[in-house]
Structure 1
Amino acid sequence: MYSDDFLKRIPKTDLHCHLDGSIRLSTLIDLAQEQGVTLPSYTVDGLKDLVFKPAYNNLEEYLECFAYTTAVLRNAKALERVAYELAVDQFDIGCRYFEVRFAPQLNAIPGELSIEQVILAVNDGLQRAIKEYNAKPEVASGDEPEYCAGIVLCAMRMFTADMSPYYKNFWEVHQHETAKRIYGLASVALVATAGKLRDAVDVPIVALDIAGAEAGFPASDHKEAFELAHKKFFFKTVHAGEGYGPESIFQAITDCHAERIGHGFHLFNTDHFSNPNRTMESRQLYINRLIQYMATMRICIEVCVTSNLQTIPGTTLADHPIKRMLDNKMAITLCSDNTTVSSTDVLKELKMTVDAFQLTPQQLKDISITGFKRSFMHKDYVLKRRYVRKVIDFYERLEREYWINASSSS
């Protein structure tokens, strides 16, 4: 229905992309050799065979990849390089705007590399790529939309002392607190640091997220941090409905003020409820009301199809709820999640979804433009609206060039 060239050229976003899951394998090898970090293999093919696979047996195997990537991202030079290369890779497939997310607590080393230095290094890489791509004649002339990026900081739903030097230090300092209290305190500390850094040097830190194991580690543990983020005018997105059900999504919206939801895979799942005595009728009513609220409030779902297929056992492409999300007129956008760990990118996600669900021209356009509209772009709102209008105009120009008629589809 759509040529590969058309899908590549249309302006796209990636609003859910993890830095430590999107490192080039050649770069991982270089950095590991430079830093003396042990890898299972020092060839790209070897890493693909042993670690970064096309498919995984379970979530645990999927998450093992991050132990290797995080290990090489604990100095500013490496962080700047990986952020720059990720931006280049995104821009090369037609991504005009993306938000990179990461947990700086996993990278920081007390006394050597601060949370602030981690964030600044990532931003340096992003800005270097943005400057290069916006210097292209078609962009600099104003003929095409510019390239932009934002930073989303991830707090962790749970963490252990051995996950990073920063977390080891944090556990030692708060050794008399309960685990749940420690998780929340670390999130509060992250928001406080982010607020000061954003205000001091205007770094495009646009939102707070919580990532990590969902079942058993509720968003409510981080309520204080998200209240603080809310008061500091940060946007909020929360991983929810990936490892648990509709109640987790509801909690993200109510306790964390989430304006977007990461994944949302189990939104329609009547089996994933905390109270086993709740009737099927009441579960369905709960889901229906949640859907209506999210659709009306345009709470956008960051859909990561490939990642879901890899981490949710027994899932097939036909099982994915994206079709039901579209049928309910929900705000959705396609995202990569982790370009390296999931062996994908937004262009691949788009092609796969178009083919599997026979997206109409209007659906394709809506998904593409929704990413820009529901982005947390670090611009004055008036400038953002002007930018989105330019994106739409460019998209429609490409539709005419490729004889795509979105207005004729529902």
Structure 2
Amino acid sequence: MQHYPKEFIQSIPKTDLHVHLDGSLREQTLIDIAREEKIELPSYTPEGLNELVFKPHYESLDEYLRGFGLTTKVMQRAEHLQQIAFELAWDNAREGVRHLEVRFAPQLHVTEELPFSQVMHAVDEGLRRARTEINATLPPEEPEFDYGIIVIAMRFFAPNFSRYYQTLSSVHSYSSQQEIIQMASRELARATVKLRNETDLQIVGFDLAGSEFGYPAGDHEEAFDYVHEHFLNKTVHAGEAYGPESIFQAITKLHADRIGHGLRLFSPDHIRDTSIENPDEYVERLIDYIANNRTTIEVCLTSNLQTAPDIPSVQDHSLREMLKHRLSVTFCTDNRLVSHTTVTKEIELALETFSIPPKQLKDIIVYGFKRSFSYKRYPEKREYVRRVITRYEELEKQYGIT
């Protein structure tokens, strides 16, 4: 197995295309804002929070998601959103991330005092300010730091998730839960496109996240049709807690350009759709379709191990099959706080476990930049990727990677 110096992995330009703003706070920031806003926490020390809430392992995806109930409580003011986004950008830049795509669900933060546009402006301002400071410190040979924002629609929510959802559910008290969830997605799609078109906010994509089981992607088809018709990129959480048919729905019904997680892609035993008569053949065809279309899978090793009890170690992760089938993959953190990880750690975990030769590693890292949802025009993006490749090759020579 190829050995890569730790310094090489730390130095190469990297991307994180799948990182949640509300899952990636600094522990101390969470504590400080909670004290300031008089928000009750299970503990007011990082050690206590990590023992009680942000654990090394979780029983399920739903337990993993419970910590977000705390983090979103401290993200209800513009100044706090701006601070958290600013700190996240710097935390990434310090480990060599040069393109960052931050995703979050604005409707978890919208209030009467903080409308959608102000939520989005706050996050963008924090990232933009960090970008200016970061790029002022980078040497000329380093590709500049940049970012994009991905807006998340929720597969499921209850009124107690946020004031926005509470109001929506109250106003439409005679509608079913499914209808209310669809309303929220449609409204978010329209608002996102309007803000992308009429401002300089760096909104680059639309996503679907949340509890996967029982809340199919197809319920959000109208919202994703709308963003698709308005040339907005799409990524969808799929195959994390449900089977291959969830990934198929994300691609065919929601026009997904990338897939978040895709953990169960190679699991015909996880197919629950009884109309699929030959699960093995279905999976083979789905894999070929993804491979031929270069649909990139945003791989989040650590968080998958935390939320999938049937995957006891990284050795058992489907990344092995993704690499074997030469799928387009990129390494991501998912949640830096909830999963206690960094992009560097994710790459190192993959390299320690799987045989990834230098050519394949370079392809994976570079493809993170190529498949990013950049707000730049394509010729500019190509030029930026070329600078990334040049820098990567310089570091290969410096560290003797052959």
**TM-score range, shorter-chain basis?**
over 0.9
**In structure 2, what is the Cα distance between the partners aligned to 1:137 and 1:112?**
38
Q: CA deviation at 1:287?
A: 0.8
Q: Is the 8 A contact 2:150 2:205 kept in 1?
A: yes
* Structure-2 residue corresponding to 1:166: 164
2:239 pairs, out of 238, 241, 254, with 241
* Structure-2 residue corresponding to 1:333: 330
**In structure 1, what is the Cα distance between the partners aligned to 2:340 and 2:53?**
11
Could you tell me which amino acid in structure 1 is paired with residue 398 of structure 2?
E
TM norm structure 1: 0.96
1:293 pairs, out of 279, 289, 296, with 289
Q: CA deviation at 1:232?
A: 1.1
For residue 268 of structure 2, give the secondary structure of its aligned residue in structure 1: coil
TM norm structure 2: 0.97
* Structure-2 residue corresponding to 1:376: 373
**In structure 1, what is the Cα distance between the partners aligned to 2:217 and 2:302?**
24
Q: CA deviation at 1:390?
A: 0.5
Q: CA deviation at 1:203?
A: 0.7
* Structure-1 residue corresponding to 2:129: 128
Q: Is the 8 A contact 2:138 2:144 kept in 1?
A: no
1:63 pairs, out of 58, 65, 69, with 65
Q: Flag the 1:277–1:121 CA change in 2: closer, same or farther, 3 A.
A: closer
Question: Is 1:22 the equivalent of 2:24?
Answer: yes
Q: CA deviation at 1:237?
A: 0.3
**In structure 2, what is the Cα distance between the partners aligned to 1:3 and 1:208?**
36
* Structure-2 residue corresponding to 1:396: 393
Equivalence map 1:4-43=2 (5 Å): 4-43=6-45
Q: CA deviation at 1:278?
A: 4.5
Could you tell me which amino acid in structure 1 is paired with residue 305 of structure 2?
L
Equivalence map 1:21-170=2 (5 Å): 21-109=23-111, 111-138=112-139, 141=140, 143-170=141-168
- Per-residue CA distance 1:13-46 (angstroms, 9 max, x = gap): 0000000000000000000001010001111111
Q: CA RMSD in A?
A: 1.1
Could you tell me which amino acid in structure 1 is paired with residue 196 of structure 2?
R
Q: CA deviation at 1:363?
A: 1.8
**In structure 2, what is the Cα distance between the partners aligned to 1:48 and 1:275?**
38
Could you tell me which amino acid in structure 1 is paired with residue 152 of structure 2?
C
* Unaligned runs of at least 5 residues, structure 2: none
Equivalence map 1:357-376=2 (5 Å): 357-376=354-373
Question: Is 1:308 the equivalent of 2:311?
Answer: no
**In structure 2, what is the Cα distance between the partners aligned to 1:149 and 1:227?**
25
Q: CA deviation at 1:53?
A: 1.5
**In structure 1, what is the Cα distance between the partners aligned to 2:121 and 2:275?**
50
Q: CA deviation at 1:178?
A: 2.0
**In structure 1, what is the Cα distance between the partners aligned to 2:194 and 2:268?**
42
**In structure 2, what is the Cα distance between the partners aligned to 1:331 and 1:24?**
31
* Structure-1 residue corresponding to 2:174: 176
* Structure-2 residue corresponding to 1:2: 4
* Structure-2 residue corresponding to 1:322: 319
**In structure 1, what is the Cα distance between the partners aligned to 2:377 and 2:71?**
35
Q: CA deviation at 1:284?
A: 1.2
* Structure-2 residue corresponding to 1:408: none
* Structure-1 residue corresponding to 2:342: 345
Q: CA deviation at 1:183?
A: 1.1
- Per-residue CA distance 1:117-149 (angstroms, 9 max, x = gap): 1111000000011001111251xx4x2210001
**In structure 2, what is the Cα distance between the partners aligned to 1:149 and 1:267?**
29
Equivalence map 1:188-203=2 (5 Å): 188-203=186-201
- Per-residue CA distance 1:259-303 (angstroms, 9 max, x = gap): 000000000101112234744xx2111111111111111100000
Q: CA deviation at 1:199?
A: 1.5
* Unaligned runs of at least 5 residues, structure 1: 406-410
**In structure 1, what is the Cα distance between the partners aligned to 2:22 and 2:294?**
29
**In structure 1, what is the Cα distance between the partners aligned to 2:316 and 2:107?**
35
* Structure-1 residue corresponding to 2:250: 252
Q: CA deviation at 1:377?
A: 0.8
Q: CA deviation at 1:61?
A: 2.5
- Per-residue CA distance 1:295-340 (angstroms, 9 max, x = gap): 1111000000000000011212111011110111110000000000
Aligned residues: 399
For residue 330 of structure 2, give the secondary structure of its aligned residue in structure 1: strand
